[in-house]
Amino acid sequence: MERITDLNQQIITNETGEKEYYTVTDNRNGKTYEVPIRNSREGRYIMAKDIGKIKDAEGNVLRVYDPGYMNTIVNTSRICYIDGDLGVLEYRGIPIEQLAEKSTFLEVAYLLIYGELPTKTQFEEFNQRISGHTFLHTDVLQMMKHFRYDAHPMGMLISTIAALSTFRPGSNPALAGQDIYKDLKIRNKQIYRILGQVPTIAANAYRSRIGRNFNNPSSDLPYVDNFLYMMDKLNENKYSPHPKLAKALDILFILHAEHEMNCSTAFVRHLASSGVDVYSCIAGSAAALYGPKHGGANEAVLRMLEQIGDVKNIPSFIDKVKNRKALLFGFGHRVYKNYDPRAKIVKKTAYEVFEICGKEPLIEIAIELEKIALEDEFFIKRKLYPNVDFYSGVIYRAMGFPTDMFPVLFTIPRVAGWLAHWVEYLDDKENNIVRPRQNYVGYAKRDYVPMEQRQEAKFNLESSKSSTSKRREAGTSVVL
């Protein structure tokens, strides 16, 4: 029997002190392997490289096939902990409920990135550094003014963040050396720049969308207040957002700041593994979040509530969901099998927003839909509970944000989580370049066929055509 061991990992021991192993017998050669079972707060696991030590007679290793990483651990992290069965979310060990009640987004950003809550002196310096990097280069501002008039704010945000790398050649590993981020001063400066400038870019994208001039950042306002200021200031000599609305948005930013290995966060580590600059990492992750399966869920919830239209229509809608004739958005989560702790906080925050902005009519439909779903055996059996997206869109709507700003409002706070994972990856001794394997099911080896001997394959090469193209092609053209 071959025992596979790795002294660098924590192997579980049972009550009698014996180490626990997963026994694998290879019936191809009769060989038996004992794969050590390891432990973490999130559960027990085995190492893929241990499975990789199981080989056939030709030396081919055994691999694991897991589309979408449904059951694969890709890294070790100390940033965020989730217990999906109990509905627990912690940032660096601190429950999300405490952070939402007692902290601020910028303090949470510090916690996520550096691992501990800041002292007063540390926080003041952190805030000052970020505030000093809120202004954008004039060429960046000019670039933003040249987006198409109806450009989506998220597309503008992604493109502009990516462009920032061209303004910082001295901070680009491809130009300044691949070890540039080992210098903590250079690393920190990129953190300050990104946290400072992303809200400015986001506010400018909003202003561009509504045809208004850009506002300069204010150094006198807190982080979230400054973002609202840049969005909303008109011709007043002095303007300040309503403190309760700023606090509500600050809470939403805290709730969206981090959520461990989701699609976009995994991507920031994936990109960082190539050694690319941090601006490209953040832009790439923002692009992943732009996808409707990731960052567009709260908008889908709003459209669903609008489709229901009235509380009296909820029972018939529920029946459609059960019969797979309609989709239920805002319920269920790949990780949570209980009530998403963030959803409870968002629901409470919604009423504080309504006191100022007025009640969003869709909230009544949302509350009744939640009540009926939580009492229905169909949803209970499937552990479909409200998630953070269920109420967040309703709040954003009540605060007057257009739906195309929803993914932007998701991105601004999530940047803090992405930066935390970027930093953690840089310091990880196991930060090999990401290089997944594939399961090839294509052709076996075959010879090149000359064009005149080929048979036409059945491929549809048509592309969509606009009405303008159809009109033009309907005409007659003569080439002289």
Amino acid at residue number 107? E
Rounded Cα distance, 297 and 291, in Å: 10
Render 73-136 in DSSP notation, one character per residue.
-----SSEEEETTTTEEEETTEEHHHHHHH--HHHHHHHHHHSSPPPHHHHHHHHHHHHTT-PP
Cβ-based neighbours of 162, under 8 Å, separated by 6 or more: 279, 280, 283
225 included as an active-site residue: no
Alpha-carbon gap, residue 172 to 273, rounded angstroms = 14
Cβ burial, residue 358 (10 Å; 0-12/13-18/19+): exposed
Please tell me which residue in 50, 333, 340, 421 is annotated as part of the active site. 333
- H-only helix segments in 323-405: 341-357, 362-375, 377-381, 388-398
208's CB contacts (< 8 A; 6+ apart) are 144, 145, 147, 151, 153, 156, 214
Q: State residue 24 phi and psi, 5-degree precision.
A: -120, 125
Question: Does residue 152 have an active-site annotation?
Answer: no
For residues 424 and 181, the answer to whether their CB atoms sit within 8 Å is: no
Rounded CA separation 3/36 (Å)? 8
- Residue 11: CB atoms within 10 A of its CB come to 14
Instruction: Exactly one of 50, 232, 340, 389 is catalytic; name it.
Output: 389
Element (H, E) at 411: helix 406-426
What token pair was written down for 328? 């239920």
Half-sphere exposure for 36 (CA within 13 Å, toward CB): 18
* Burial of 101 (C-beta count, 10 Å sphere; 0-12/13-18/19+): exposed
Residues designated catalytic: 333, 389
